[in-house]
Every structure is written in structure tokens, then in C-alpha cells.
Structure 1
Amino acid sequence: MKTAIVALLLAASSPLGPAREAYQSGDLPRARTALEALLQPPRLSHPQEEAEAHLLLAATLHAQEDLPRAEHEAVEGLALDPDAKLDPLVYPPDFIAFLERVLAQRHDRIVQRAARLRPPVLLPGPTTSITAPVLVESRPASRGWYLVPFGVGHLVHGQRSKGTALAVGQGTTFAVSAVSLGVALSLRGPDGRYSAQDAPTARAFNVSYLVGAYAFAALYAYGVLDGLLSSPPPPHGNGPG
């Protein structure tokens, strides 16, 4: 079971994973280097990921007290995702307050930057003949994303609130289970058994490991079933006329 969970966790990783881990562990120089490598030139294919990278770099620069550069990155991130919501479990309160000030004080600049980032709309010239439009089928994201844990499937399909809740819940139960298992194993003696003194503590951590593992499995099963059963139907107009 542990091997399967680790495999699913690796499948859910993204190019931002190392930078997130470095920032959360306090290794700001490594986080800054990783984020600048992703953004200069841009190497992220999704606007939301690029927005998160800019905001994460802004938080890193803010922690390093490079406020002018932090404000620049915050403007870039908010221009890509004006509705970005920061996770208070990841970002400190002083940076969240800093981002709110940037949003209020640099609103016009953010709007102008967002307008520049939008792809241009090509209109036919005066002599251009207008032909029948070509219909391009819009393909929805695969339902297979719901098999990835930590709310990835819901986030990919635009269900941000539910995806965030699943990510926090599954991440917490996974961490509790993994830590409890590690502590319980470390209490074993060379013969693979617990001493009389350590037995009660080991028993408590074994129970915590099982509870965390079952809770993670339950949340994972709920996320898969909820995604597969409540996924929106295909757009109208693709069936037979």
C-alpha cells in the first residue's frame, strides 16, 4: 500500500514541486533559483501554474526583503490570475497582507499588464473575404486526472474549493500516517521487537499510522468517486443532429 501511495504522490508532482518544497523548508536561495529558471524564459504551460510561480517568487523575495522585486513579481502573478487565493498554511500573514496592498495600490497596473498578456484578436481586413468559420472541438480534461490524489483532478477540472479541501485533507492524513509509521519502526530493537518501556508508545503510533492510512484511503476514494460521478456532461452540440 505504501508503494502505491508513493507512486501516486510522484505522479501528482509538477515542475513547481521542488521550488515549493524549498520555500516551505526555508531554503530561500534554492527556491529563488528554481523559480527564476522556470520563469526566465517561461517554461510553464498553464497560466495558473505561471501565476503561482510568480507569486511564490514574490513571497521568496519578500522574505529576503527585496520588496521592489517582490512587488513586480506580485503584479505579474495577479495579472495572470486576478482571483488567486493564497493558502495561509503555506504563505505567512505578512506576505498575504503585502499582496493585498499590491492588489489595491497597483490595480491599474495589474489591469494593464493583464491586457497585454491576453492573446490578440485578429479581425479580417477590408479586403479579406469572410468564409465560414471552422468549428474546433473543445476537448474537456480527461477524467483520469481524478485518479491522482491530493485534489489534482478537481483542480484540473476547475473545482478549486473542493480540490483545495481534498489536498489539505489527504496531505494531512498522509503526513500523519507516514510520520507515525516512521516513529513506530524507529522504536523497534535489533530483534525487531519493542521493549516493555517503548511498547505503549509504539502501540499509540501504530494506531495513529493505521487511522491516518485509512483516513487517507477514504478521502482518496471519495475524491475519485465524487469526480467520476459528478463530472459535468460533454458540451451540447457534439451529438448527432
Structure 2
Amino acid sequence: MKALILALVLASSSALGPAREAYQSGDLARARATLEALLQPLQLPQCADEAEAHLLLAATFHAQEDLPRAEQEVVEGLALDSDAKLDPLLYPPDFIAFVERVNVLRQERITQRAAERRPPVLLPPSPTLPQEPSAADQALASVQPASKGWYLVPFGVGHLVHGRTTKGTVLAVTQGTTFAVSAISLGTALALRGNDGRYSADDAPTARKLNVSYLVGGYAFAALYAYGVLDGLLSAPGPLAQPGPPPPERGD
């Protein structure tokens, strides 16, 4: 209900209202067309509205898995408003993390675009040679950041998808073991029951042990699963690997 009220307020507050409404409703094609029409040619006189339009367009590209164009729009938006705050009721957590990542890794480009967007001075600046994209720029464009939703999958899948191999392997083994113990114990205990649903005098001690093993295994699996989810969702995304300088040559 709060999200709906917020969407209605935002929709009536500026020219960006239809684009916000289309994005929130999942109509990404209409949101993209509306935003591109507002930006090309520019129809937003306020700098804050233009910055929000770039970030909203970046969110649309991000949802369409077009990460290079999403990064470009994030750079443009942060160049206009470096202190832009993303509303968690409007943007998903993985996009907010993507914006924070671009803000850190592309700070030089954001600063350069901010300088280019400033009003011209009386004396024009000296021309600069265009810079070729660095290896780090090409690496970020080619990397597809995995969603943190993978951490909700048991057996360490989220950690393995995000490259955290050691912890993912440990969670896979421990969760798999506890789950197997619990399932096998429950299945064996149920198999010992007679047609009347009761255990015989000979099978009762074994059934009690199996029930205890089933409960212990189930609680252990639940605890390990909860730990894996919390550890993954609360972990910060690792920075992209940056190419280091070549090692110095050693003399003979």
C-alpha cells in the first residue's frame, strides 16, 4: 500500500511520472521509450529531474540485462547529481548495488562528465585527445554481475555463482549431509511403522533414535541454510580485478 501511494505521488509530481509508473508496473519498453523521448532532445529543465531520468533509464536497461548501456546512464546520472539517493521502494537491491559499484569503479569518468556538463567559461579549455577505453572499462562491460537472489538457493549455490568457491563447497557438503541424514532417518522411521501406524516393541527403540536423527538433521540443515542466506545477502560485492603493473625486469 505504501509503495502504491508513493508511486501515485511521484507520478503526479513531474514529467517523469509516466516513466516511473511504467517501470514499476514492469512495462520496460514503454518506460525506456518515455525516458528516451524526454532526454533526446532534452525536455527536463531541472538538473535533478535529468539526473533521475538517466538513473531510471539505467534501471530499465539493467532490468533488460543491457549492462553496458546501464553503466553509461549511471555515469551520466551521477555526473549530474553525485549525491543522488536511490529509493529502495522504487529500485531493486541488485540495481542499487550496481550503481554503487559503478560509482566506485568509474569515478574518473563521472568526474570528467561532470566537468563537461558545467556551463562554459569565457576562456575555452584546451582540447584534449580522446581516451581509448581501458582494459578495466572493457572488463566491466563484459562482466555480468550475478544477482544476490542466488543466495536463496541451498547447498552453497549462491556462493559458487559469485565465485566464493571455498565457502560454497563447505555449505554444499554440510547442508547436503544434514539434509540426507534427516531425509533418510525420516524415511526409515516411517518404513518401520506397521499397518496400524505404530511401531512394534522390537522396532520402537530404533524408531526413537531415527526420529531424533531426523530432527537433529533437519534443524542443522535449517541453521546452515539460514547462515548461507544471511552471509550472502549481507556480503558486499567484491571489486572487479584491476590489471596490475608488469613485474620489473631482473638483471642478469
Q: TM-score range by the shorter chain?
A: 0.3 to 0.5
User: Larger Cα Rg: Structure 1 or Structure 2?
Assistant: 2
